[in-house]
Chains A and B, each alone.
Chain A
Amino acid sequence: MIEVKNLVKKYGSHTAVDNLSFTLEPGRIYGFLGPNGAGKSTTMNIITGYLGATSGDVIIDGHNVLDEPEEAKKCIGYLPEIPPLYTDMTVNEYLHFAAKLKKLPKDKSEDFIEQAKEMAHVKDVEGRLIKNLSKGYRQRVGLAYAVLGFPDIIILDEPTVGLDPKQIIEIRDLIKELAKNHTVILSSHILSEVSEVCDYVLIISHGRLVASDTIDNLYKYMGKTSELEIQAKADEGSFRNAIAEVPGINDTECKTEDDFVKATIDYDGKDATLEAVFYALAQSRIPVYEMHKITKSLEELFIELTADTKEAE
């Protein structure tokens, strides 16, 4: 479990992390979201003990990172933004070195290394020098380092950067697999990835926490009425006439293109309204070519939330 209390980090006069507080429960996948320079990496670096906070506390499984750094660091596996690899070592040498640094018990470290190599799929390059590996493989070696010894908490800073689509899927599966027994925190700027992998999202903007909830709840937060997009073969006038009587419609915007009208209808979100629109158009003999609901994507949610804080400042 990670407890972050009133974390502040200042670089000179610039405040990178501004009074951040949150608690992370074990066994979940947390997504760290935020625009560039929001303080994601800084926060992760503070949690892992690489950077010191200006003020505030980080408590990991009951150990304060500042007072008991060794105990706290033993609970964490960390893959920073740029994997910390010694390029003049082979993958095997590197992982053995990492096992010693992590102070894994000697009799078990061989097993741990084997498991880590299998999980990160680096078995086939184990004897090669890291400097000769491609970016994707380096990223995976970094991942093997992070999961080595299976610490309780695994922190991954943009783990899928530089990987090909197949590898991205593999890594996502790996993260889901890890989450069965570990707490996983990952930061990403790929929102679809976060919405696919994570149970819980923390959105950070300008060093402050602007939202922290499950993805479903975040959508509910939006609280906006739903929108419907229709493309039909009609002119604007007859289209508007046809749906004028339908209850539950708040507003209609139309655009005419050749013979077609493209309408965006702001409605109350009920399925009955959808059906009523369909039947109304059918009765007026207006052929519908396309009709779909617009759900807000995480992107829009994200832009909205992070834009809000800017205005507030």
Chain B
Amino acid sequence: MGAIFLKEIKSFFNSMLGYVFCAVMIILIGIYFYIYNLSYGYPWFSYSLMSALSIMMFATPLLTMRSFAEERKSRTDQMLLTTPVRIWQIVLGKFLAYAVIYAIPLLVSCLCPLIINLKGSTSYLKVDYLTIFTAFFFGLVYISIGVFISSLTESQIIAAVGSFAAVFLLVFWSGLTGYIPNTVMAAHIGLIVLLVLACLIIYALTKNGIIAGAIGGAGFIALLVVRFAKSSLLSTWLNAFTDKMDLSKPISNIAYYNLFDISGIVMYISIIFVFLMLTVSSLNKRRWS
């Protein structure tokens, strides 16, 4: 695992990609910091960071598109998979390397709250640092999704476009889900779609059609029962789900409302875990098909 981790970091700084990523992130954070905090004298750095983080939509694919697509294309995956290294070690080694590279601009941005503190009388160090802390996990969620998408294809371009689309969807999630019609029928259909997705994921992870089918069937019947017994529950559930899946919520809670959302961080970590697991199983599946 250590070898793969080091190799990834080295190859990032050999190929300029690492420098480009760090430079773009730092420049954007710097611009927002200059405008919001230094020019307008706004005491919260968290606002600037939140605005700068929108660049992750473009920066994530930059970081993750190569991860597995390139290995597959150049056949180096044959080396990784025929040496005594476990697949989860390969995935984790790569993911940790991206995490370290992503942490570099965030570490640099740790200076900004201090600069505000030096210049002005009011500063909110605790909120600012907790925002940076949350932003770290927030970015890792995007990265884990990017790694997973890269493991599905051998084309870096498809991987990049795919991760861009996925991150785009997440960024505009709350805006998009606002357009779901507020009827029982729509809620029912929405929940069935989610159920099918969940069953597919279970199937991908366990390779057990019976378990996935049984859960799907049971869920389907349960939804039907609920629809005729208490139909209002359906839209409540769908709303609760879309609300929970709004990944930007924990980070905006701390940045805008000064609420440190531990459950949100736990959710980030769980999503990261799920996508890394999916990456492992997608690599595994390729060997068997």
Contact = CB atoms under 8 A, between A and B. Distances in A.
Interface of A: 11, 45, 48-52, 69-71, 73-74, 76, 78, 80, 82, 84-89, 93, 97-98, 100-103, 145
A56 B81 CA distance: 20
B79 A73 contact: no
A47 B114 CA distance: 58
Contact of A69 (B10, B74, B84): B84
Contacts of B81: 49-50
Contacts of B86: 69-70
B287 interface: yes
Contacts of A76: 82
Interface string B1-22: 0111001001100110000000
Contacts of B289: 11
B82 A78 contact: yes
Contacts of A71: 84
Contacts, number: 68
B121 interface: no
Contact of A52 (B10, B82, B288): B288
Given A51-B287, A70-B86, A100-B2, 7 more contacts: A69-B86, A70-B84, A74-B84, A80-B78, A85-B74, A97-B7, A101-B80
Contact of B84 (A87, A97, A102, A145): A102
A45 B85 CA distance: 16
A145 B78 CA distance: 12
B76 interface: yes
Contact of A101 (B3, B15, B75, B287): B3
Contacts of A73: 82-84
Given A51-B287, A80-B78, A101 B14 contact: no
Contacts of B287: 50-52
| Of listed B82, B84, B289, residue having the most chain A CB within 10 A | B82
Nearest to A86: B76
Interface in B65-83: 74-83
Contacts of A88: 11, 14-15
Interface residues of B, number: 24
Given A52-B288, A88-B11, A97-B3, A82 B82 contact: no
Nearest to A74: B84
B15 A48 contact: no
Nearest to A129: B14
Interface in B268-289: 287-289
A78 B81 CA distance: 11
Nearest to A84: B79
Contact of A102 (B7, B11, B83): B83
A140 B14 CA distance: 24
Interface in B240-289: 287-289
A69 B10 CA distance: 28
A7 to B, nearest CB: 14
Given A48-B82, A101-B83, A101-B85, A84 B75 contact: yes
25 contacts: A45-B78, A50-B287, A51-B287, A52-B287, A70-B84, A70-B86, A73-B83, A76-B82, A78-B78, A78-B82, A80-B75, A84-B76, A84-B79, A86-B7, A88-B14, A88-B15, A89-B11, A93-B10, A98-B79, A100-B3, A101-B4, A101-B84, A101-B85, A102-B84, A103-B83
A145 B79 contact: yes
Top-8 shortest CB links A-B: A100-B3, A84-B79, A101-B83, A70-B84, A52-B288, A48-B82, A73-B84, A84-B76
Contacts of B76: 84-86
Contacts of A145: 79
A51 B15 CA distance: 30
Contacts of A50: 78, 81-82, 287
A159 to B, nearest CB: 15
A82 B4 CA distance: 21
Nearest to A75: B84
A76 B11 CA distance: 27
Nearest to A80: B78
Contacts of A85: 74, 76
B139 to A, nearest CB: 25
A93 B289 CA distance: 33
A76 B79 CA distance: 12
Given A52-B287, A82-B75, A84-B75, A98 B11 contact: no
Contacts of A51: 287-288
B6 to A, nearest CB: 8
B78 A84 contact: yes
Interface string B66-110: 000000001111111111111000000000000000000000000
B226 to A, nearest CB: 40
B258 to A, nearest CB: 45
B75 to A, nearest CB: 5
Given A50-B287, A52-B288, A70-B86, A101 B11 contact: no
Contacts of B83: 73, 98, 101-103
B194 to A, nearest CB: 30
Chain B CB within 10 A, most for which of A50, A82, A103:
A50
Contacts of B75: 80, 82, 84
Interface in B40-88: 74-86
A87 B82 contact: no
